Structure 1
Amino acid sequence: MTRPAGKLCRRNAACMLPETIEPPLAADDPMTLPSPSFTLPLPLAALAATLLAVSAPAARAAPDACIVQGATIIESAYPTAARSADGTFVVDGAIIRLPEQNDSDAHAVVCRTWPSQPALTLVAVPLMTRQADDGNEGDIELLVVDSKKATVRQRLRLPGLMTDDALYVSSVALDTAFYRLASRKIAFGLRLSLQGSSRSNPFGETTLWLFLVDDGKLRPVLDNIVVSSNRGEWDTNCAGEFENTERTLSMEPSPQSAIADIVVSETTTTTVNVAGKDGACLDTETAATATHRLRYDASVYRVPKALSRME
């Protein structure tokens, strides 16, 4: 698909979801897990007018932990970081910004206490090396931090994840749904939303990565699956076609492995709008469903190319 063109406009609208509370980790917890996301239905007549403002259902974590401990966490994780007069940190040429109350800046640090292991706090640190109207450059570093001491237990840097251009990063969120791979192996997720700026070719996409603390190290176990996408083409008045795809993940026992399979349930809704004789905008909606099973292979879940984001 050709990426939508159009004048680039920078917006920092994060997509908010209600907080969810998962039970503490228990050895006898069932293998079937609650869904990590939900479908946010959008009537297509309204979608045409509002799609630019909707990234996808990426739940940005409440920033309370960052507000309370953010500076301490950053100083512990980056001992050489220098704090600027505006409150940002600079380390090795990268800027780190702490969130403020009710902050929706996609470039700010995200923190979330891990419900499965409350003694640990998950942190996503955008490390921005360039910020401009025509695009940004930067990495994300994931930290697993001691909730009381604010010391880093594990870390993993994800190069280039904050680099964008015509499709800009509109939201970064930590996903703490109960992704139980096996007994005592609970993964967590990172969700990143991209947003287009073209009114006539609206586009939004949220991608999920999963990570696991294994043998004292943090490593990826699922590399990039698109869990929500919205795209379309229309005349900016009525006539056009829109497509909305939502995917939810659940864990099921594998008949072939001690590590659970991931079952992906997919719903794609296509809406075609046409102008009626009386000038009213008429829409026709069709829906299709599909199911995909991702199996753990060696050390990761293999994601089909059709379910991955465009690079």
Structure 2
Amino acid sequence: MKRPIVFILLMFLFVNTYSQSNQNGFLLSQVLKQLQLKPSNIHKELYREKKLPNKPSQTVLVIPKYKTNETDDEGHLFLELDAYIIIADSSTGKILYQYIEDNAWTSDAMVLSDITIDTGLYQLNETDRAFGTRVSYHGSSGPNPYSSTDLSLYIVQNHTLKKILNNYQIDLDNGEWDTKCAGEFNQINGVIDLDKNKTDGYKNIIIKSDIQQTKSFIKNGECEEKVTTKNTTRYLKYNGKEFQ
């Protein structure tokens, strides 16, 4: 009796995955037609889409469009990408709102490694809820390790999609060392909360960061390290145009 049940479950998962994949492709194709873009115009590996949890009838699409796509003589890839941030009807793909930023992202020595859509609970007032994008970078230098994540927030305001937080560095991990032991490293991890107080109609954004600093050194022939930690809190306030 177990085999038929397992088979049915597997078929359900397959059909559900296939249907979701088909829907994703449908939305993107419909949006690209309206934007008069071709699939070859976009960086497909970094394309993202996600339904808004508070409005599942609407889907956010983040479309990185190639502005520059070059490889130098040493084989290093250089990318410049325009950002197309779209809210579309989840069923038809009709564009409801759009925000287009020319040359929004660059990938060279600091490689653009990932883009995610953040639909956290950014309820800025009784009616307005924002969503975000998190854009991650990493470096390729052994002696100077580096990775970071930038957060941007968007909101529909006056029937227009608007960016209200621009590339705030929410996470950072960097350092410098001799690739053997001696060196210094910094790690910052930020968490977002909303204040009860408002400025110009929107709740203040609270960013709580955990900061860890590590120093490694040779002592008595052994590699040791000293770690110090601290916490910081920063408030970002809306000035009528953006959070600063």
TM-score (structure 1 length as normaliser): 0.67
Query: 2:128 aligned to 151, 167, 185, which one?
Result: 185
- Whichever of the two has the greater Rg, that structure is 2
CA spacing shift, 1:160–1:255, aligned 2, 3 Å: closer
2:88 equivalent in structure 1:
145
**Aligned residue type for 2:29:** E
- Shift of residue 66, structure 1, vs aligned partner: 7.5
What is the distance in 1 between the residues matched to 2:141 and 2:84?
A: 30
CA spacing shift, 1:145–1:197, aligned 2, 3 Å: same
1:68 equivalent in structure 2:
22
**Aligned residue type for 2:171:** S
CA contact (8 A) 1:65 1:111 kept: no
- Shift of residue 257, structure 1, vs aligned partner: 4.5
CA contact (8 A) 1:273 1:281 kept: yes
2:54 equivalent in structure 1:
116
SS where residue 228 of structure 1 aligns? strand
CA spacing shift, 1:301–1:119, aligned 2, 3 Å: same
- Cα deviation code 1:116-151 (max 9, x no counterpart): 211111110010233332411221111101111121
1:155 equivalent in structure 2:
98
What is the distance in 2 between the residues matched to 1:175 and 1:255?
A: 22
- Shift of residue 252, structure 1, vs aligned partner: 1.3
Q: CA-atom RMSD, angstroms?
A: 2.0
CA spacing shift, 1:226–1:300, aligned 2, 3 Å: same
What is the distance in 2 between the residues matched to 1:178 and 1:215?
A: 21
2:192 equivalent in structure 1:
249
Q: How many residues align?
A: 221
What is the distance in 1 between the residues matched to 2:211 and 2:20?
A: 36
CA contact (8 A) 1:177 1:188 kept: yes
SS where residue 24 of structure 2 aligns? helix
CA contact (8 A) 1:170 1:194 kept: yes
- Cα deviation code 1:179-219 (max 9, x no counterpart): 01111100000111111110000111100000001122100
What is the distance in 2 between the residues matched to 1:118 and 1:186?
A: 14
CA spacing shift, 1:172–1:143, aligned 2, 3 Å: same
**Aligned residue type for 1:76:** Q
1:32 equivalent in structure 2:
none
What is the distance in 2 between the residues matched to 1:138 and 1:232?
A: 27
- Spell out the pairing of 1:244-283 with structure 2 (5 A cutoff): 244-254=187-197, 257-277=200-220, 279-283=221-225
1:200 equivalent in structure 2:
143
2:169 equivalent in structure 1:
226
CA contact (8 A) 2:67 2:103 kept: no
CA spacing shift, 1:280–1:65, aligned 2, 3 Å: farther
Percent sequence identity over aligned pairs: 24
Structure 1 unaligned blocks of 5 or more: 1-62, 83-88, 99-104, 303-311
- Shift of residue 258, structure 1, vs aligned partner: 3.2
- Shift of residue 276, structure 1, vs aligned partner: 2.8
SS where residue 67 of structure 1 aligns? helix
CA contact (8 A) 1:114 1:176 kept: yes
CA spacing shift, 1:65–1:230, aligned 2, 3 Å: farther
SS where residue 202 of structure 2 aligns? coil
What is the distance in 1 between the residues matched to 2:177 and 2:190?
A: 24
Query: 1:238 aligned to 176, 181, 188, which one?
Result: 181
SS where residue 53 of structure 2 aligns? coil
CA spacing shift, 1:264–1:97, aligned 2, 3 Å: closer
CA contact (8 A) 2:200 2:240 kept: no
- Spell out the pairing of 1:276-291 with structure 2 (5 A cutoff): 276-277=219-220, 279-291=221-233
CA contact (8 A) 2:143 2:179 kept: yes
- Cα deviation code 1:40-68 (max 9, x no counterpart): xxxxxxxxxxxxxxxxxxxxxxx999833
Structure 2 unaligned blocks of 5 or more: 1-16
1:27 equivalent in structure 2:
none
Decide which structure has greater strand share.
2
SS where residue 127 of structure 1 aligns? strand
